Amino acid sequence: MRSLPVMLSIALGLATLSACDKKAEEKSDAKTEEKADAKTEEKADAKKTGDEVSANTVDSEEGCIHENKPAHAEGEGCDHGGTAAPTESTGHFGAAFAITEAQPLSTALASGVPTAAVKVSGTVESVCQAKGCWMVIKEGDVTARVLVKDHAFAIPMDGKGKAATVEGTIEAKELTEANVAHLKKDGDTNLEGDGARQEFFLHATAVELAANS
């Protein structure tokens, strides 16, 4: 039979080992909690940074009137397609005219929005200064915003004041405040006020500009 001092020594050793193991577990738990807290803080900082970037980022596409915008790389602006604006101030742009006779814009809209394609005439009031992707023509008291159909061609950006003949289809369209702001940024100096409004959109397949006599 073992002596009492030996047994006491063994019991004391076991108690010491148990205490050491407990301290090691406590330290391990503390480190795990510290790592979890650090990850939580990193996530919170990342979210805060992301929110700040999102809040300060200006969407160049916001208010663009083109519903079918070509895709472009991140960071590029709303370029309305890859077609460069022509260097000529006058000439024929787009497809050949399919309709023989042109009529004044006001005549084409006298009985409401036509359902078939039309060929109309007017004077250029303003042109998109970003890429020549739209222009506004006026005849009498009637105006229409001409959009290049499918971005097939571009309009001379110095076309203001030219006599315009345009072939395409017309629709009435609501412009939001964002649309108005975007158009002003693109160079439409004739838009008054910032509110929403209705316009006639002429989706052009062909445009011809000539010096206004």
Alpha helical stretches, state H, the chain: 4-56, 105-108, 177-185
Domain assignment of residue 10, yes or no: no
Predicted TM-score of the model (pTM):
0.66
Residue that wins the pLDDT comparison between 25 and 210: 210
Domain assignment of residue 23, yes or no: no
Residue that wins the pLDDT comparison between 129 and 26: 129
At 86, the pLDDT band (50, 70, 90 cuts) reads: confident
Q: How far is CA 161 from the centre of its chain?
A: 29
What is the structure's pLDDT at 64? 81
Residue that wins the pLDDT comparison between 70 and 107: 107
The rounded distance, in Å, linking the Cα atoms of 28 and 39 is 17
Range of the domain at 112: 91-210
Domain assignment of residue 178, yes or no: yes
The mean pLDDT value for 18-29 works out to 54
The mean pLDDT value for 92-104 works out to 97
Q: How far is CA 85 from the centre of its chain?
A: 20
What is the structure's pLDDT at 210? 96
* CATH code, domain with 106: 2.40.50.200
Give the contacts of 88 (CB within 8 A, at least 6 positions apart). 156
Domain assignment of residue 78, yes or no: no
Phi, psi dihedral angles at 114 (to 5 degrees): -70, 145
Residues linked to residue 119 through DSSP beta bridges, in sequence order: 167
Mean pLDDT of the chain: 78
Total domains, the chain: 1
* Residue that is written with structure tokens 């506004």 in the block: 136
Please write the tens of the pLDDT for every residue from 132-154: 989 999 999 999 999 999 889 99
Domain assignment of residue 141, yes or no: yes
Domain assignment of residue 135, yes or no: yes
Residues making up the chain, counted from first to last: 213
What is the structure's pLDDT at 45? 59
The rounded distance, in Å, linking the Cα atoms of 167 and 103 is 10
Residue 136 near residue 155 (C-beta atoms within 8 A): no
Torsion of CA 77, 79, 82, 85, to 10 degrees: -130
The mean pLDDT value for 12-16 works out to 51
The rounded distance, in Å, linking the Cα atoms of 15 and 18 is 5
Domain assignment of residue 61, yes or no: no
Please write the tens of the pLDDT for every residue from 150-187: 889 999 999 999 999 999 999 999 999 999 998 888 88
Domain assignment of residue 51, yes or no: no
